[in-house]
Protein backbone atom coordinates (compact mmCIF):
# COMPACT_ATOMS: atom_id res chain seq x y z
CA UNK A 1 0.00 0.00 0.00
CA UNK A 2 1.11 3.54 -0.62
CA UNK A 3 0.49 6.73 1.37
CA UNK A 4 2.21 9.97 0.43
CA UNK A 5 4.82 8.02 -1.55
CA UNK A 6 5.72 5.68 1.33
CA UNK A 7 5.09 1.96 0.81
CA UNK A 8 4.80 -1.12 3.00
CA UNK A 9 4.06 -4.78 2.25
CA UNK A 10 2.05 -7.04 4.54
CA UNK A 11 0.92 -10.65 4.52
CA UNK A 12 -2.79 -10.98 5.10
CA UNK A 13 -5.26 -13.78 5.65
CA UNK A 14 -8.74 -13.98 4.19
CA UNK A 15 -11.26 -13.31 6.95
CA UNK A 16 -14.84 -14.02 5.91
CA UNK A 17 -15.97 -12.19 9.07
CA UNK A 18 -14.31 -8.94 8.02
CA UNK A 19 -17.30 -7.03 6.69
CA UNK A 20 -15.98 -3.61 7.70
CA UNK A 21 -16.87 -0.64 5.51
CA UNK A 22 -16.21 3.07 5.65
CA UNK A 23 -19.67 4.32 6.66
CA UNK A 24 -19.43 7.40 4.42
CA UNK A 25 -17.91 6.05 1.20
CA UNK A 26 -18.76 2.35 1.54
CA UNK A 27 -15.12 1.44 0.87
CA UNK A 28 -13.99 -1.95 2.15
CA UNK A 29 -11.57 -2.02 5.08
CA UNK A 30 -8.37 -4.05 5.28
CA UNK A 31 -7.30 -4.43 8.92
CA UNK A 32 -3.53 -4.07 9.46
CA UNK A 33 -1.43 -4.29 12.61
CA UNK A 34 -0.17 -0.97 13.90
CA UNK A 35 3.44 -2.21 13.97
CA UNK A 36 3.45 -2.79 10.20
CA UNK A 37 2.30 0.78 9.56
CA UNK A 38 5.19 2.43 11.43
CA UNK A 39 7.08 2.68 8.14
CA UNK A 40 4.41 4.84 6.47
CA UNK A 41 2.55 6.69 9.24
CA UNK A 42 4.23 9.01 11.71
CA UNK A 43 4.85 7.64 15.18
CA UNK A 44 3.02 10.44 17.01
CA UNK A 45 -0.15 9.51 15.12
CA UNK A 46 0.20 5.78 15.85
CA UNK A 47 0.94 6.51 19.52
CA UNK A 48 -2.30 8.50 19.84
CA UNK A 49 -4.88 6.39 18.01
CA UNK A 50 -7.46 6.39 20.81
CA UNK A 51 -6.94 10.10 21.49
CA UNK A 52 -7.52 10.87 17.80
CA UNK A 53 -10.71 8.80 17.81
CA UNK A 54 -12.07 10.63 20.85
CA UNK A 55 -11.00 14.06 19.58
CA UNK A 56 -8.52 14.61 22.41
CA UNK A 57 -5.51 14.86 20.11
CA UNK A 58 -5.13 17.36 17.30
CA UNK A 59 -2.99 16.40 14.34
CA UNK A 60 -2.36 19.95 13.15
CA UNK A 61 1.28 19.54 12.14
CA UNK A 62 0.38 16.55 9.94
CA UNK A 63 -2.23 18.15 7.74
CA UNK A 64 -1.55 15.75 4.84
CA UNK A 65 -3.03 12.97 6.99
CA UNK A 66 -6.19 14.72 8.17
CA UNK A 67 -8.14 14.20 4.95
CA UNK A 68 -7.09 10.54 4.89
CA UNK A 69 -8.45 9.61 8.35
CA UNK A 70 -11.64 7.60 8.69
CA UNK A 71 -13.55 6.38 11.76
CA UNK A 72 -14.73 2.82 11.26
CA UNK A 73 -17.41 1.49 13.63
CA UNK A 74 -17.20 -2.22 14.42
CA UNK A 75 -18.64 -4.95 16.60
CA UNK A 76 -16.84 -8.16 17.47
CA UNK A 77 -16.84 -10.84 20.10
CA UNK A 78 -16.17 -9.09 23.39
CA UNK A 79 -16.39 -5.59 21.91
CA UNK A 80 -19.66 -3.96 20.94
CA UNK A 81 -19.81 -0.47 19.43
CA UNK A 82 -16.06 -0.13 18.94
CA UNK A 83 -14.26 2.41 16.76
CA UNK A 84 -11.22 1.76 14.63
CA UNK A 85 -9.10 4.54 13.20
CA UNK A 86 -8.50 4.04 9.52
CA UNK A 87 -6.88 5.92 6.69
CA UNK A 88 -7.36 6.01 2.96
CA UNK A 89 -4.11 5.14 1.21
CA UNK A 90 -3.34 6.56 -2.19
CA UNK A 91 -3.76 2.98 -3.40
CA UNK A 92 -3.27 -0.61 -2.31
CA UNK A 93 -2.15 -3.46 -4.48
CA UNK A 94 -3.32 -6.94 -3.57
CA UNK A 95 -1.43 -9.97 -4.85
CA UNK A 96 -3.33 -13.24 -4.67
CA UNK A 97 -1.50 -16.34 -5.88
CA UNK A 98 0.78 -14.21 -8.04
CA UNK A 99 -1.96 -12.09 -9.63
CA UNK A 100 -1.88 -8.34 -8.81
CA UNK A 101 -4.93 -6.13 -8.45
CA UNK A 102 -4.73 -2.38 -7.76
CA UNK A 103 -7.35 -1.08 -5.32
CA UNK A 104 -7.99 2.65 -5.11
CA UNK A 105 -11.21 2.78 -3.08
CA UNK A 106 -9.96 1.05 0.07
CA UNK A 107 -9.47 1.97 3.72
CA UNK A 108 -6.78 0.58 6.03
CA UNK A 109 -8.01 0.00 9.59
CA UNK A 110 -5.27 0.29 12.22
CA UNK A 111 -5.35 -2.61 14.70
CA UNK A 112 -3.33 -2.00 17.86
CA UNK A 113 -2.69 -5.66 18.76
CA UNK A 114 -1.24 -8.67 16.95
CA UNK A 115 -3.44 -10.62 14.56
CA UNK A 116 -1.48 -13.86 15.04
CA UNK A 117 0.90 -14.88 17.81
CA UNK A 118 3.73 -15.78 15.44
CA UNK A 119 3.37 -12.69 13.19
CA UNK A 120 2.73 -14.97 10.19
CA UNK A 121 -0.07 -12.60 9.12
CA UNK A 122 -0.33 -8.92 9.89
CA UNK A 123 -3.53 -8.12 8.03
CA UNK A 124 -7.14 -9.26 7.52
CA UNK A 125 -8.76 -9.07 4.10
CA UNK A 126 -12.50 -9.54 3.64
CA UNK A 127 -13.96 -11.61 0.82
CA UNK A 128 -15.49 -8.53 -0.79
CA UNK A 129 -12.02 -7.17 -1.58
CA UNK A 130 -11.16 -10.22 -3.60
CA UNK A 131 -12.22 -10.58 -7.20
CA UNK A 132 -15.92 -11.36 -7.36
CA UNK A 133 -15.22 -14.10 -9.88
CA UNK A 134 -12.89 -15.83 -7.43
CA UNK A 135 -13.93 -19.16 -6.00
CA UNK A 136 -12.64 -18.22 -2.53
CA UNK A 137 -15.52 -18.76 -0.13
CA UNK A 138 -13.76 -19.27 3.20
CA UNK A 139 -10.73 -18.47 5.31
CA UNK A 140 -8.29 -20.89 3.69
CA UNK A 141 -4.81 -19.47 3.67
CA UNK A 142 -3.78 -18.06 0.31
CA UNK A 143 -0.74 -16.10 -0.78
CA UNK A 144 -2.02 -12.58 -0.21
CA UNK A 145 0.27 -9.56 -0.09
CA UNK A 146 -0.82 -5.98 0.28
Q: Which domain holds residue 15?
A: 2-145
C-alpha angle 65/36/143, rounded to 5°?
120
What is the number of domains present in the chain? 1
Of residues 128 and 20, the one with the higher pLDDT is 20
What pTM does this model have?
Answer: 0.83
Of residues 21 and 56, the one with the higher pLDDT is 21
Give the pLDDT band (50/70/90) at residue 132.
very low
Give the pLDDT of residue 136: 46
pLDDT surpassing 50 at residue 133: no
Give the pLDDT band (50/70/90) at residue 59.
low
DSSP labels, 75-123:
EETTEEEEEEEEE--SBEEEEETTEEEEESSEEEEEESS-SSTT-S--E
Amino acid sequence: MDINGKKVNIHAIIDSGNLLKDPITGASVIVVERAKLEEIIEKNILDNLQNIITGEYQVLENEEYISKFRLIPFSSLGKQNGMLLGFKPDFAEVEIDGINRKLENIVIGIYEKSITKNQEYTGLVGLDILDERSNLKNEYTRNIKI
